Structure 1
Amino acid sequence: MNSSSSIFGKFAEDLVNFLFQHFRGGFDAFSSVLGAFVKLFEDGLAAVPFIAMLVILMALALWRRGVVFAAFVGVALYVINYMGLWAQTVSTLALVIAATFFSLVIGVPMGIWGARNRRVEVVLRSLLDFMQTMPAFVYLIPAVILFGLGRVPAVIATIVFAMPPVVRLTTLGIKQVREELLEAGRAFGSTDAQLLWKIQLPNALPSIMAGVNQTIMMALSMVVVASMIGAGGLGEYVLSGIQRLDIGIGFEGGLGVVLLAIVLDRLTESFGVKSKKKPRKSAKSLKQGATGAAQT
């Protein structure tokens, strides 16, 4: 049976065709803006010399994780550069940063909304289940039809695939804030906005950072899939090895992805771990914050 012969397949096909026929100009404009945004990231990273990037990332690793991890970052980046994959790594990093940025811009507010509204949470849960369980290759079909080949459909497909963790963990983190902290804030006259910014978000930060970490990892897992529609980067190198049945090329590309994933994973994870060590706000500090807000 043809996939489009069923009512579900026919509906999806008609919907994509309708969007393409009636809103093609809007999709082209959006594609141009998003493409320029991603290119800005890539050009900015490419403009930084390898040695400078090595020093910056090692310094960041030393600050967040210590000497051992800083040494690992130095070795990992040297290995990537030695294999001649630094340009591909920069391209992949730009795609991951762009997809993660938009995932956070969209996902964190959605997570906050879901935590504060039960009906919205129910709808979001079903939508996120759909986004996480639908095979990633399926996203590529409408993305290519609407946006063509290149980085733009790759970023959009990556956003759809990688955004659910940050939405879920933002909602979870806010809902797990202790009720006595919220009651103390209300007792001292805090508004809903003050409760959100001064109590809920600071206390939910470890959970939100865990969501950021998982979003980055899922974005990296889309590297090879996105390379099939012209995303470039390390995924294209791995794809080339698959097409040629070249074990060496495939292994080098895969090793580059693994090393980059470990560096990004440990760095983003460290921000969540560090924030857990900070003491939670006491009633006294809440009173001082609320008093200062009332005075202003």
Structure 2
Amino acid sequence: MFDFYIPLEDWINAGFEKISSALSPFLRSSSEILETLINAFEDLLLWPPEIVIMVLVSLLVWWASSYRLAIFAFVGLLLTFGIDIWDATMATIALALSGTAVSLIIGIPLGIIASQSNVFERILRPILDFMQTIPSFVYLIPAVMFFGMGKVAALVATMIFAMPPAVRLTTLGIREVSGEMVEAAKAFGSGRWQTLKDVQLPLALPTIMAGVNQCIMMALAMTVIASMIGAGGLGNIVLRSMQSINIGLGVVGGLGIVVLAILLDRMTESISNKMNKNK
């Protein structure tokens, strides 16, 4: 009988091991930087008394959105303190914000470049398609292989998972700016990058903010999944509830996640709506 077998699994494992070995110094230094970033966010959130964080976050939400959402923010954070998941909530916020920040730092410039180059956009599109269709759990494997178990691997997996919306919507927003506006800017002597900075980016900002919103939501979702590789936070509470079949513990962890998801989503949505009104 004809037996046809391609050891693809072995080839991929060998390839990743060689890449990991070759990039070892870079991975170590990157791991230290990312760990410092996460710890800085956590220390910033856990250092002040809880009531100070509640008030500051509520005031920030009021300034960026509305007093109704500010009240929800205060009550929601007070709830996380009351049901004893404050530290886990702050750890989840720190990881989600760190992942979002790194995703945006990389994703928005890539989106800008893709908006200016059709060749780069065609190269980037299948990569983004692959990143968005691959199951989220698969991201954990290379992250652990390169960075080991822990928050750094969780941050890397979160960053990769959350980046595509930022890239796509940045590209879309800039490309949707009317040609007449661009031509008018060029007619007044603006160069390519000056037109991008003064015309295209300001007009594309609401669409870019929609990408930021999606990036934050996907980062938050991934931090929960990344509890499987030592991310900690609210995801760890949900994971423990699944392992022990403890419904109450799962509801407690879920409440914290719901509060964060609603708060972050409504806040970024409000900022985006304000930008649309001023457009």
TM bin (shorter chain): over 0.9
Other-structure match for 1:204: 204
User: CA separation in 1, counterparts of 2:16 and 2:64?
Assistant: 45
Other-structure match for 2:73: 73
- Say if 2:65 and 2:271, in contact at 8 Å, map to a contact too: no
User: CA separation in 2, counterparts of 1:123 and 1:165?
Assistant: 16
Other-structure match for 1:154: 154
Q: 1:6 to 1:161 in 2, by over 3 A?
A: farther
Q: CA deviation at 1:165?
A: 0.3
Deviation per residue, 1:234-274 (Å, 9 max, x gap) = 10011111111000001100110011111011111111110
Q: 1:198 to 1:8 in 2, by over 3 A?
A: farther
Q: CA deviation at 1:14?
A: 2.0
Other-structure match for 2:225: 225
The TM-score with structure 1 as length reference comes to 0.90
The residue type paired with residue 36 of structure 2 is: A
Aligned length: 275
User: CA separation in 1, counterparts of 2:56 and 2:266?
Assistant: 15
User: CA separation in 2, counterparts of 1:102 and 1:135?
Assistant: 21
Question: SS of the residue aligned with 2:229?
Answer: coil
The TM-score with structure 2 as length reference comes to 0.95
Structure 1: tracts of 5 or more residues without a match: 280-296
Moved more, 60-69 or 205-214: 60-69
Q: Does 1:163 align with 2:172?
A: no
Moved more, 46-55 or 225-234: 46-55
User: CA separation in 1, counterparts of 2:189 and 2:245?
Assistant: 66
Other-structure match for 1:286: none
- Say if 2:143 and 2:153, in contact at 8 Å, map to a contact too: yes
Other-structure match for 2:14: 14
Q: CA deviation at 1:178?
A: 1.0
Deviation per residue, 1:176-211 (Å, 9 max, x gap) = 001111111001101112111110100000000000
Moved more, 259-268 or 62-71: 62-71
Question: SS of the residue aligned with 1:222?
Answer: helix
Moved more, 62-71 or 111-120: 62-71
State the identity %: 47
Moved more, 51-60 or 98-107: 51-60
Structure 2: tracts of 5 or more residues without a match: none
The residue type paired with residue 128 of structure 1 is: L
Q: Does 1:144 align with 2:180?
A: no
Q: Does 1:106 align with 2:106?
A: yes
User: CA separation in 2, counterparts of 1:9 and 1:239?
Assistant: 29
Q: CA deviation at 1:8?
A: 4.1
Question: SS of the residue aligned with 2:84?
Answer: coil
User: CA separation in 1, counterparts of 2:93 and 2:224?
Assistant: 13
Question: SS of the residue aligned with 1:214?
Answer: helix
Other-structure match for 2:188: 188
User: CA separation in 2, counterparts of 1:143 and 1:186?
Assistant: 45
The residue type paired with residue 78 of structure 1 is: L
Q: CA deviation at 1:125?
A: 1.1
Other-structure match for 2:84: 84
Question: SS of the residue aligned with 2:278?
Answer: coil
Alignment RMSD: 1.3
The residue type paired with residue 229 of structure 2 is: I
User: CA separation in 1, counterparts of 2:111 and 2:49?
Assistant: 38
User: CA separation in 2, counterparts of 1:269 and 1:101?
Assistant: 17
User: CA separation in 1, counterparts of 2:121 and 2:20?
Assistant: 31
